[in-house]
Amino acid sequence: MPQSSNWFMRRLGHLDGILLTLVLLLLGISLAVVASASGQSSARISGHLVNIGLALGVMVVMANVPPHILSKVGLPLYVTGVVMLIGVALFGEIRNGSRRWLNLGFMAFQPSELLKLALPLMLAWYFQHNEAVLRTKHFLVSGVLLLLPFLLILRQPDLGTAMMLGASGFYLLFFAGLPWKVIFGGAALGAASLPVAWGLLHDYQQRRVLTLLDPTSDPLGAGYHIIQSTIAIGSGGLFGKGWTQGTQNQLDFVPERTTDFIFAVFGEEFGYVGVIFLVALYLAIVARGLTIAARAPTLFGRLMAATISLNVFTYAFVNMGMVSGILPVVGVPLPLMSYGGTALITLLLGVGIVMSVATHRQLNKT
Amino acid sequence: MSFVAPLKNLDRELARFHGRLKAGGALVGLLAIALLARTYHLQIGQHDLYSQRAESNRISLIPTAPNRGVILDRKDRVLAENYSAYTLELTPTQSHDLDATLAEISKLIEITPGQLRRFRRLVAESHEFETVPLKSRLTDEEVAILATNRYRLPEMEVKARLFRNYQAGPGMAHVVGFIGRINDRDLARLRESGREESYHGTAHIGKTGLEQSYENVLHGRPGFEQVEIDAAGRAVRILSRIPPVSGKDLRLYLDLDLQAVAEQAFGDYLGGLVALDPNTGGVLALVSKPGFDPNLFVDGIDPDAWKFLNESPERPMVNRVLRGIYPPGSTIKPFMAMAGLELKLRKPSDSIADPGYFTLPNSSHQYRDWKRGGHGSVDLRRSIAQSCDVYYYRLAADMGIDRMHDYLAKFGLGEKSGIDLDGESSGLLPSPDWKQRRWKQAWYPGETVIAGIGQGYHLTTPLQLATATAMLANGGRRVEPRLVEAVRDPLTRVWQPQQPVVHGQVAFSPANLAVVRQGMIDVMRPGGTASAAAAGAPYAIAGKTGTAQVVGIKQGARYDASRLARQYRDHALFIAYAPAEDPKIAIAVMVENGEHGGSTAAPIARAVFDYYLAGKRPAEKTVEAVDAAE
């Protein structure tokens, strides 16, 4: 017994205290808000608790996997993911008008979820592998590695996931040292080509993009969600209406309020003070993650920790921006806050990797 | 590759990575500031706006329908009252497949084909998002069955609604009328009159009868409940409440017992009867046979029943008293007699010799008296008592159509009586002007002659005849017929009597009036045209019989009832008041295809008088074959 308990303590020793504290704080808030948003439904709360337990377990496991082992799964995971994406394009099931699901016989699976993890792992491994001889050629290759799944997902079509995947790939290239002139040049080129791309779109596609950018133009359809969520946030004021006291929340006006729109519930019940605190927590996670990246002994560790940290914040920003009405509606959950097992597990899996980077300090040269 | 170079390279790479970390951190910081700026704008800058929008989101004003005023007869017996019942209503626009929904509901509770037809008609008329009743007056069991299946069929709803019950039956349908669902035309009218707001929460409005004419009195004002609602519009709790103000109650002059007596007195005949209090104009009885069941209309009539009522040759939907227009026939004679006396064209004692016909100068056309061979020597009293046509042919010829028109107009002929019911006909009081306007033709002297006995273009409603008769009874006051005697405020519970409306006074010479009245009394005495109907009456009646032709009779031909199908037989008319010396009731009776005023219409009036003046209920058989010539 003492021996096994000792083993258990050692496994926990791979957790990063600061990150753990921040994650637990956020999860605590999440429990409270999910409870309020679900009308204190015990089924929802216990479901959420199970998800949290599972995800924390995954985090502990990942924190104990040394980075050099992790780096080895990047290539096979990436290849599997891309093959499955091609499979989706050829045989995928169409749900809600887009081809995202692959029927594996026993379960339906979205390969794009796998790529969210596989792509950074693949690219980080690739850069670490060629660390000593890093040249323009390697950036070009990694650009192709990024574009391949990006384009496959884009044509499903799943613009939201493609953008998030593109962002994480870009972060990795950015931290790997993608030259500024390429970044700015690419940005300028993209901006310049926008009007041309716009002209190539069909009328209905243009309209769809416009509704995406301005939901208030469709107040009973797509705009309804955003209008109600901004009312919820705005009516919260400085200190909020209090836990379980948000009328927009309790009376069903806020849609998807335990999942994608949980920020509206939070903003309504906890006010601007609560929002500042929440944003501060995300900033603290990013700060801790970047610190870990700065201290990481290997390029793989550095790239993974930095990319995952920025990813977490990107998800948070896109979600909060969407719910508060400054970004188009894309189905992105709020990290560590929204109800939902898959997203939570994927996220804490990433946090686990960062912790692993933080606690495996010895240089593991391949 | 030297040993040192990669290390140096690594340092540089690390420094660059740290730079990139800072840049990434800066980007994150910028995004965080953008987020905080946005939420600041929402939560601090525009907090008031969004608070207000959240409030208006959650608070809804739900109107509560007022109780409609009840309608009572003069003895406070209920003619129209409210009851609350559960109704199954559907929102058709919420249903993906209405037929499937209806089939599903039919499995749960019984839906009759009539209810289905009515429902489909209402759906066709309804607006988007409107609920349409499928079945009303649900039993408790049905309510329970529907409630347990509500989750499967969210488009259906069980609502408690106020309904109207007309327990007085078909006999009162033409007086009380009925309410029905508010349709587009009603809505447009309400909008025009600015009363639309009073109908929030109300699905029904008065369509005919008193329900229509006293709509503004009966309806009341809706109340409002301030209710907290959820996004689906379901009420969560009540925040505040403004109670509705009930409509006012109506009490009529009409006596349900008298009405029943009058109705029964018609026997198998159809027709109309109206009895007035000659002093106030109060309507004591108003019968239009056949009636109909007003309850059929309350929650939307089944199209088949509607078709039947509308297309029946007996025309049960037509109020014969207000809208039935008939030539007044001989009932016009007392009024013509008053005109002749007052215009000083005749003295009471002036007699004519009646050879049985009248001819105009320079014409060979014979205007026949109804009595072959004539009445012999006839003065004014006798002319009324025996209904001598020749006397009035000649009087009319002497008076001329213009003076006739102007004098008869004083009795309200050719004009709406102003009764407190809608849809009254104004009849037709002919004049050369009218003929020119209507037919672009000149007036012929012969037309004046037949106008003198109430034939030709003359058309009157029974109500006009009763009002004119009341003027003879009350000495020339033209009272407006009134159904409603008093109105009760629901809060104070005090009955507020309605003032009689008088349209002016015709200053008859008392002597002239007395002669005409005497003539009408003679009608009911031996030798008069309705003497049989007055036999044994403990009070004196003043009356006048009349016949309204249904088909024209050719010159020289005789009317032979036995050879005419019933629906072509003449309508029998009778006007009267009683007691003759102190009139308390004036009446006009029209019996469709009753042929003789004296034999079919007068006994009906007698039955009404007997009950009203002597409290005597009629024997079973009231319409007897009474021998009376006219």
pTM to 2 decimal places: 0.66
Average pLDDT over residues A39-60: 92
For B20, name the nearest residue in chain A, comparing CA atoms only: A175
- Whether B622 is in a domain gets the answer no
pLDDT tens, residue by residue, B522-564: 999 998 899 999 888 899 999 999 988 776 555 455 556 665 6
Interface probe for B, chosen from A247, A312, A334, A363 (most Cβ of B below 10 Å), is A247
Check B44 against A283: CB less than 8 A apart.
no
- Whether A291 is in a domain gets the answer yes
Which residues does A350 contact at the CB level (< 8 Å), separation at least 6? A117, A308, A311, A312
- Token pair for residue A95? 């749900």
For residue B561, the model assigns a pLDDT of 60
The count of domains in chain B is 2
Check A310 against B17: CB less than 8 A apart.
no
The more confident residue out of B373 and B572 is B572
For residue B156, the model assigns a pLDDT of 84
pLDDT tens, residue by residue, A181-199: 999 998 999 888 888 878 7
The count of domains in chain A is 1
Residue A90 confidence (pLDDT) above 90: no
- Whether B356 is in a domain gets the answer yes
Instruction: Identify residue B221 by its one-letter amino acid code.
Output: R
- Whether A364 is in a domain gets the answer no
Residue A263 confidence (pLDDT) above 50: yes
Banded model confidence at residue A219, pLDDT cuts 50, 70, 90: low
Residue B54 confidence (pLDDT) above 60: yes
Check B50 against A317: CB less than 8 A apart.
no
How close B97 comes to chain A (CA, Å)? 22
Banded model confidence at residue B587, pLDDT cuts 50, 70, 90: very high
For residue B462, the model assigns a pLDDT of 95
Q: At what angle do helices A203-213 and A222-236 cross, to 10 degrees?
A: 10
- Whether B12 is in a domain gets the answer no
Q: DSSP characters for A166-234?
A: HHHHHHHHHHTT--HHHHHHHHHHHHHHHHHHHHHS-HHHHHHHHHHH-GGGSTTTHHHHHHHHHHHHH
Inform me whether the C-beta atom of residue A230 falls under 8 Å from chain B C-beta atoms: yes
- Whether B630 is in a domain gets the answer no
The more confident residue out of A277 and B229 is A277
Banded model confidence at residue B623, pLDDT cuts 50, 70, 90: very low
Inform me whether the C-beta atom of residue A277 falls under 8 Å from chain B C-beta atoms: no
pLDDT tens, residue by residue, A223-242: 778 888 899 999 999 999 99
Residue A215 confidence (pLDDT) above 80: no
Banded model confidence at residue B622, pLDDT cuts 50, 70, 90: very low
Check A231 against B230: CB less than 8 A apart.
no
- Which listed residue (B126, B213, B330, B383) is catalytic? B330
Banded model confidence at residue B629, pLDDT cuts 50, 70, 90: very low
Q: Is B330 known to be catalytic? A: yes
Please indicate, yes or no, whether residues B239 and B99 belong to a single structural domain of this protein: yes
Chain A residues with CB-CB distance to B28 below 8 A: 283, 286, 310, 313
For residue A334, the model assigns a pLDDT of 94
Average pLDDT over residues A40-46: 89
- Token pair for residue A225? 């969600």
Element housing B64 (H / E): strand B59-64
Q: How far apart are CA B288 and CA B607, in angstroms?
A: 16
Average pLDDT over residues B590-602: 87
How close B55 comes to chain A (CA, Å)? 8
What are the two backbone dihedrals, phi and then psi, of residue B495, each rounded to the nearest 5 degrees?
Answer: -80, 125
pLDDT tens, residue by residue, B363-398: 888 898 888 888 889 999 999 999 999 999 999 999
Domain residues for the domain of A281 are 2-359
Q: How far apart are CA B438 and CA B459, in angstroms?
A: 15
Please indicate, yes or no, whether residues B117 and B262 belong to a single structural domain of this protein: no
Check A275 against B43: CB less than 8 A apart.
yes
Please indicate, yes or no, whether residues B182 and B325 belong to a single structural domain of this protein: no
Residue B304 confidence (pLDDT) above 60: yes
How close B246 comes to chain A (CA, Å)? 33
For residue A212, the model assigns a pLDDT of 66
Interface of A with B in 168-227 (CB under 8 A): 171, 174-175, 177
- Whether B51 is in a domain gets the answer no
Chain A residues with CB-CB distance to B21 below 8 A: 175, 290, 293-294, 306
Banded model confidence at residue B510, pLDDT cuts 50, 70, 90: very high
Q: Name the residue facing B39 among A235, A287, A324 (closest C-beta).
A: A324
Element housing B164 (H / E): strand B156-165
Q: DSSP characters for B97-118?
A: -HHHHHHHHHHHS---HHHHHH
For A299, name the nearest residue in chain B, comparing CA atoms only: B14
| Three-state DSSP state, B521 | helix
Domain residues for the domain of B357 are 256-308+320-614
| Three-state DSSP state, B226 | strand
For A316, name the nearest residue in chain B, comparing CA atoms only: B32
For residue B327, the model assigns a pLDDT of 92
Please indicate, yes or no, whether residues B413 and B355 belong to a single structural domain of this protein: yes
Q: Name the residue facing B43 among A271, A287, A306 (closest C-beta).
A: A271
Inform me whether the C-beta atom of residue A293 falls under 8 Å from chain B C-beta atoms: yes
- Whether B5 is in a domain gets the answer no
| CATH code for position B116 | 3.90.1310.10
Q: Name the residue facing A326 among B38, B54, B57 (closest C-beta).
A: B38
Please indicate, yes or no, whether residues B215 and B292 belong to a single structural domain of this protein: no
Check A282 against B32: CB less than 8 A apart.
yes
- Whether B203 is in a domain gets the answer yes
For residue A155, the model assigns a pLDDT of 82
Please indicate, yes or no, whether residues B406 and B457 belong to a single structural domain of this protein: yes
